[in-house]
Amino acid sequence: MRKVLQVGHEHLTRVVPELEDLTNLKVYRNHICELIEVCEEMNGMACASNQIGESVRMFVMKNLITGEYKAYFNPWIIEGNGRNRGLEGCLSFREPEVQYYVRRKQNIKLKYADINGDEQIEVFVDLEARCIQHECDHLNGITFDKIGKLK
Ligand SMILES: [Zn+2]
């Protein structure tokens, strides 16, 4: 399994650039598999590319109902509504494991490219919305200790 970078690692603070060419995202299949393996092994719901030291503007997230993973390339939150404060964990805060309370939008509209390079717009609520905001922060070099309150 790929090692997940832990807080303090400089790579986690860098903004991951957008992918300009979306015509052959299947070249990232192996990378997607690595991220899924990390989630499975560490019991996480999602993981961003830069958390394992790569620089692809993408994260994977598990659908908690179907158990299937999906990759979200160039994710962009185009709308957010409502507010809620909730407790979050992070694969990059496991040594030692800590959790943070973070204020997030309750529901979001996300634009992203799927593995075929097709643009998708999808609405997410509650836990999935929270998770996506957390992963988008990672891709912008932001970890939740910068914006939340330690439990
Ligand atoms: Zn995280």
Model confidence at 39, in pLDDT bands (50, 70, 90)? very high
Q: What is the pLDDT of residues 87-114, one digit of tens each?
A: 999 999 999 999 999 999 999 999 999 9
Q: How far is the CA of 132 from the centre of ligand 1 (A)?
A: 10
Residue type, 45: M
What average pLDDT does this structure show over 39-49?
97
Q: How far is residue 133's CA from residue 6's CA, in Å, rounded to a whole number?
A: 19
Q: How far is CA 88 from CA 80, 85, 98, in A?
A: 19, 10, 9
pLDDT at 60: 98
Q: How far is residue 46's CA from residue 73's CA, in Å, rounded to a whole number?
A: 13
Structure tokens at 105: 């939008």
Structure tokens at 116: 């075929």
Is domain 10-150 given the CATH code 3.90.45.10 in the classification? yes
Q: How far is the CA of 99 from the centre of ligand 1 (A)?
A: 10
Q: Tokens 């832990």 belong to which residue?
A: 6
Q: Where are the domains of the chain?
A: 10-150
